Amino acid sequence: MRNSGNPPRSPFFKRGGRAAVLGVCLVATMATSLARADTPYVFNPPKGFPIPKVPDDNPITLEKIALGRFLFYDTRLSGNQTQSCSSCHQQDKGFTDGLPNAVGSTGQMHPRGAMSLTNVAYATVLGWANPLLTSLEKQTLVPMFGETPVELGLAGMEEELLNRMHNDARYERLFAEAFPNDSDAISLGNLVKAIASFDRTLISGNTPYDRYTQGLDDYAISDSAFNGGRLFFSERLECFHCHGGFAFTASVTSQGNPFDETSFTNNGLYNIDGKGGYPLNNTGLFAFTQVPSDMGAFKAPTLRNWKFTAPYMHDGSIADIEGVIDHYAAGGRTISTGPFAGDGSKNPFKSNFIRGFTLTDEERQDFLNFLLSLNDDELVHNPRHSNPFNAWRCPGDCGYDGEVTIDEILSAVGISDGAANLALCVAADRSGDGDVTIDELLAAVNSALNGCASPAAVAP
């Protein structure tokens, strides 16, 4: 949301004043007094992207997304009310937390780092190496109720959690809107469905690389980056085998795709005992299958938006992208001292696509430039993914573009008389009580007339 001083104004309001608002109210009341229903969400993926699969029992709607977004950012979703999903998945860090290992609500350290949520809608499997988490719905239960390690720390607190939701008028309304067929819409199943729906909207594909390959802008990437791309997709560097496809990760699927591809590979980070050993609390796929050759096998994460997601690897053990290139150039990592000492390049379970390579200085620069072209500033700034509890900053700005249009005022009016769903414009409900009052309508009009930075935009 841009709090710019001078948004373009609607001519209607230049002349307008309150009389106009009243007229609008009337029209809106007539237009929207039809029965409310949930509103299907239409994916509008970037060019070159398929449509994500959505589970049959959780069709995606605007109402679920709006609800899920609040839940994702709500610290009431942790036992001690200090953390939310967004504590570890921060938008400005590509939905990671910048730490090598995530830290849960009770201070317990996670053995692994928070993962990027870029394009999770397409993931066949979630987490660094958990073959069982095949839906975002299932995955959501893990940070909520998991105890080794504690993340949100809600185990055994389901009743209290639902009470917290019940005690919030806005949630009462958003849940009811999102699940109109349920007599008691505030339930664990629905909460999980809403969060998963929000996760599915975190789609990112407007990078210089995309603009170039989709033919939208021939100059989106430099010659150097172009040459670097040839290296990326070459049998010399092999990156594309595991970080290939539109999502730059192998474990993806989409609508119409009959294959749910998943792959877990060992990229030679450790070799503790010379027999391929990884640290005991991070054995990767092996922890689930106990198959010896699965030792150290992890999901190759997406390379999109890496600029925001350092440090790298499951345990954050590589600090920056230069270190990553060194790692692959050496064909694995050698640790010379300490409990994890060993030559990862000789790990017997290492994928044979990781063989090492030498780059000239120029090639290395090209390669880096290519990798840089995989970053999309849009995701980290998209106001639709931002913290909705800050929506009061621009009352009535349903679309979060920093200005309030006549359509947005109409939505607000529809909500205030109960004809439209609050989910369609949570920014109209400045006070967060689940209702849009006359005062809030006036605040929205004020934003329309005077811009978002008008005096109305103070914390309620």
Partner 1 sequence: MRRFFLVVFIAAMLWCGAIWFGRSVLATTGIDAAGQCIGDANRDGAVTVDEVYGAINNALDDCSLMPITLQFSGNVGEQTFTCGSIYHGVGTTGADIVPSDFRFYVHNVRLIRDDGVEVSVLLDQDGIWQYQNVALLDFEDKTQPCNNCTKQMNATVRGKIAPGTYNGVRFTLGVPFRLNHADQSVAPPPLNLTGLFWSWQDGYKFIRIDTAFDNLRVHVGSTGCYYVRPNVIGGCAHPNRGEIYLPAFNPANDTIVADLAVLLSDSDINSNQPDTPPGCMADPNDSDCDPIMRNLGVDFANGLPAAGPQKFFRVVSPTPVP
The H or E element that residue 365 is part of is helix 361-372
Answer for the pair 264, 284: CB distance below 8 angstroms, yes or no. Answer: yes
Answer for the pair 129, 288: CB distance below 8 angstroms, yes or no. Answer: yes
Q: What residues from 261 to 280 belong to the interface with partner 1 (CB under 8 A)?
A: 279-280
Please measure the distance between the N-terminal and C-terminal CA atoms of the chain and give it in whole angstroms.
18
Tokens standing for 12?
């209607």
**Do the bridges between strand 298-299 and strand 264-265 make them parallel or antiparallel, or are there none, so unpaired?**
antiparallel
What CA–CA distance (Å, rounded) separates 197 from 225?
35
Answer for the pair 303, 249: CB distance below 8 angstroms, yes or no. Answer: yes
317 vs 447, beta carbon nearer ligand HEC: 317
152: nearest Cα among 189, 116, 113, 110: 110
16 vs 228, beta carbon nearer ligand HEC: 228
432: nearest Cα among 38, 152, 70: 70
Q: Does 81 bind partner 1 (CB under 8 A)?
A: no
What CA–CA distance (Å, rounded) separates 212 from 372?
13
Q: Does 130 bind partner 1 (CB under 8 A)?
A: yes
What, of ligand HEC, partner 1, none, does residue 104 touch, CB below 5 to 8 Å by kind? ligand HEC
What, of partner 1, ligand HEC, none, does residue 189 touch, CB below 5 to 8 Å by kind? partner 1
Q: Does 269 bind ligand HEC (CB under 6 A)?
A: yes
What, of partner 1, ligand HEC, none, does residue 158 touch, CB below 5 to 8 Å by kind? partner 1
Q: Does 202 bind ligand HEC (CB under 6 A)?
A: no
Q: Which of residues 115, 423, 452, 457 is near ligand HEC by CB under 6 A?
A: 115
**Torsion angle (degrees, nearest 10) of CA 196, 162, 422, 397:** -70
What, of ligand HEC, partner 1, none, does residue 280 touch, CB below 5 to 8 Å by kind? partner 1
270 vs 308, beta carbon nearer partner 1: 270
Q: Does 309 bind ligand HEC (CB under 6 A)?
A: yes
64 vs 430, beta carbon nearer ligand HEC: 64
Answer for the pair 189, 144: CB distance below 8 angstroms, yes or no. Answer: no
The H or E element that residue 264 is part of is strand 264-265
Q: Does 192 bind partner 1 (CB under 8 A)?
A: yes
Smallest separation, CB 274 to ligand HEC (Å): 18
Q: Does 127 bind ligand HEC (CB under 6 A)?
A: yes
Q: Does 142 bind partner 1 (CB under 8 A)?
A: yes
Answer for the pair 266, 298: CB distance below 8 angstroms, yes or no. Answer: yes
332: nearest Cα among 420, 269, 279: 269
Q: Does 397 bind ligand HEC (CB under 6 A)?
A: no
- Tell me the window of 188-196, 222-230, 240-248, 391-399 that interacts with partner 1 (CB under 8 A): 188-196
Tokens standing for 269?
């980070």
Tokens standing for 262?
């998943």
What, of ligand HEC, partner 1, none, does residue 424 touch, CB below 5 to 8 Å by kind? none
144: nearest Cα among 198, 72, 233: 72
Q: Does 238 bind ligand HEC (CB under 6 A)?
A: yes
What, of ligand HEC, partner 1, none, does residue 328 touch, CB below 5 to 8 Å by kind? ligand HEC
Answer for the pair 330, 395: CB distance below 8 angstroms, yes or no. Answer: no
354: helix, strand or coil: coil
The H or E element that residue 298 is part of is strand 298-299
- Tell me the window of 52-60, 137-145, 203-211, 405-413 that interacts with ligand HEC (CB under 6 A): 137-145
179: nearest Cα among 71, 58, 73: 58
Q: Which of residues 28, 54, 102, 372 is near ligand HEC by CB under 6 A?
A: 102
Q: Which of residues 136, 409, 425, 428 is near ligand HEC by CB under 6 A?
A: 136
What, of partner 1, ligand HEC, none, does residue 283 touch, CB below 5 to 8 Å by kind? partner 1
Smallest separation, CB 446 to ligand HEC (Å): 35
Q: What residues from 242 to 261 belong to the interface with partner 1 (CB under 8 A)?
A: 260
16: nearest Cα among 322, 346, 448: 448
Q: Does 132 bind partner 1 (CB under 8 A)?
A: yes
Q: Which residue has the tokens 């600029």?
A: 307
What, of partner 1, ligand HEC, none, does residue 279 touch, CB below 5 to 8 Å by kind? partner 1
- Residue 223, CA atoms < 13 Å, CB-side half-sphere: 1
Residues that bind partner 1 (CB under 8 A): 127, 130-135, 137-138, 141-142, 144-148, 154-158, 187-189, 191-193, 260, 279-281, 283, 287-290
- Tell me which residues touch ligand HEC (CB under 6 A): 72, 83, 85, 87-89, 102, 104, 110, 112-117, 120, 123, 126-128, 130, 136, 139-140, 143-144, 151-152, 195, 199, 237-239, 241-243, 265, 267, 269, 298, 300-301, 303, 306, 309, 312-314, 324, 328, 351, 353-354
